[in-house]
Chain A
Amino acid sequence: MGASATTVSGGRSALERSPLSRLPDQLLQWILTALAAAILVLIGYFFVRLIGQSSTSINHFGFSFVFGNNWDAAHNIFHALPLVVGTLVTSAIALLLGVPVAIAAALFLTEICPRRVRGPLAIVVDLLAAVPSVVWGLWGVFVLAPKLLPAEKWFASTFSFIPWLGGGTVNLYNYFIAGLVLAIMILPIVSAIAREVISTVPSQDKEASLALGATRWEMIRMAVLPYSRSGITGGAMLGLGRAIGETIAVVLLIGSNPILGKHLFSPGYSLAAVIANEFGEAANEPIHKSALFEAGLVLFILTLLINIAARWFVSRGTHGKRVAGGAMTGVMLEET
């Protein structure tokens, strides 16, 4: 075999691809890498711009933005404590009401439910996530809030001796009703993640407890729950992140009152809600606008931190397998 058999004109070996034909591959790789990098750049850029827009407010109000209790648009005083409290209170209610139900439903679906019914039921629970937040708001405003008002009034008067939880005038739109609808909205996320985490419990642990003579519930308590604790916590935190950032349902149901509410059934405000509500009127007032952006910045940082912590918990709980994203997109694309 001489060299002539494998060379073409120009002295290149026929096995070597011409630089021109390598171009598409190089280009493709370059483009794809650039797009991927663009995402990181985008996030960073957003941070920078958001901080820029908030700077007037940050400089003006300093720490009392977050800790001061006075959101007074008329006088251009923007201390957002009532908003922060409102955000945290409604999210706490959402967690308290939503997480136990979500976990219980997840346990039912994975451990107790007969196999034939499991698939369809799971899909229905996941469908909760498909309902847009504005529709939850619609239903909440015209159906849930009025229907629950008598019960809320009864609760407030019967338990008026408990501070904050009871007593006070019951408003049609208040922390509770906003938190309740938020609970419904975070339920599918927490449940989907809980289901994935619970299904990773090794059957040998479950068999060990059954072989000791445990009842079904005792087996869940001994083998399933301790193992899933970490992952479920992560799921709950993702639900928390969702609750904190939810705008529309909250703004329609929380009462939009910038004064800090004194009771569970008082009207209040949240960071996201105030941005949605006051955006129009703030257009001409720079300090107001800047304060709204700062509220947005606080919101963004909060949700980022919670999400990062949540994913750490979930990855610990599922021992490395990426599940959180799958649950977020609402469908089990993976056949596991």
Chain B
Amino acid sequence: MIPPETTSKEPTEVSTRPETGHTQVSPRAADRSRRERTGHGVEVRGLNAYYGAVHAVRGFDIDFPANEVTAIIGPSGCGKSTMVRCINRMHEEIPGARAEGTVKLDELDVYHPQVDVTAVRRLVGMVFQKPNPFPTMSVFDNVAAGLRLTGTRGVNLKDRVHGALRAVGLWDEVSGRLDKPGIGLSGGQQQRLCIARTIAIEPEVILMDEPCSALDPVATLKIEELMDELKERYTIVIVTHNMQQAARVSDTTAFMLSGELIEHGGTNDIFTNPGDERTERYVTGKFG
């Protein structure tokens, strides 16, 4: 059993897939709603994703609450990464892959035929499993890369780059070497650099696909702390195979199996009192 973390919570209702697609708001988020919510949540309905004939994500319905961290957990190959890549429409970049359904930020459905895919990706940023700073660019240029695409220049550019580096806690470590290659940093620093690159263009949602799996525990901790700060401004969805991590960082957790959403709800409830038997077997380590 995963020991529940942090403060005790009042029991909340947990909804599973057959009933509604909406999660009950957990107390921590309710807390936040008293302050002004600055972010935008994501509403996924009827998401199906295919690799050629392989049906990798089946009829997915879920809400990602604004300004919260939602963790997607499940065994390897269950489609977590695929599902998440459908949110910023990266899934369709793979030859032979396609997706259908709706993914809405407020009224904006990113799968609407008139929507430009590149515009979607500015709203929904992504951090990848293996840190991937551009190898030929300096630290500064890496963070500035997305900004330069839309023509940000000069002082404005510099301010936003520095701001992003500060926001991820890298400033002290790299301020003296902004012009040095981005790949010269350590693994954990590189990942934070990639996060800085992502938030520099001020998306609404940040998707993280197993962002710490290639990092050491110290670097992992730094990034988890960062996530906690980032959710003030962004909505975060993190895919992770590490259940302890999910329990530590997320407010809401969704459990996936074979492309389907099995159960989702407040993190505490999923881990201490899961509704579905399969969820219970997974979080107690009986498989996966």
Contact = CB atoms under 8 A, between A and B. Distances in A.
A and B are interacting partners:
yes
A227 interface: yes
Contacts of A229: 136
Contacts of A226: 134-137
Contact of B128 (A204, A213, A218, A223): A204
Interface residues of B, number: 27
Contacts of B134: 205, 208-209, 222-223, 226
A75 interface: no
Contact of A205 (B120, B135, B149): B135
A5 interface: no
B132 A210 contact: no
A211 B120 CA distance: 9
Nearest to B119: A213
Contact of B95 (A115, A205, A208, A210): A115
A205 B142 CA distance: 11
Contact of A212 (B93, B95, B130, B146): B146
Given A215-B118, A222-B134, A207 B90 contact: yes
A213 B135 contact: no
B45 interface: no
Nearest to B133: A208
Interface in B108-144: 118-122, 125-126, 128, 130, 132-137
A129 interface: no
B145 A227 contact: no
B126 to A, nearest CB: 4
Given A115-B95, A205-B135, A211 B90 contact: yes
24 contacts: A202-B132, A204-B130, A205-B135, A207-B132, A208-B132, A208-B133, A208-B194, A209-B134, A209-B145, A210-B90, A210-B121, A211-B125, A211-B128, A212-B145, A212-B146, A212-B198, A213-B121, A213-B149, A213-B150, A214-B118, A215-B118, A222-B145, A226-B136, A229-B136
Interface of A: 115, 202, 204-205, 207-215, 218, 222-223, 226-227, 229
Interface of B: 88, 90, 93, 95, 118-122, 125-126, 128, 130, 132-137, 145-146, 149-150, 194, 197-198, 201
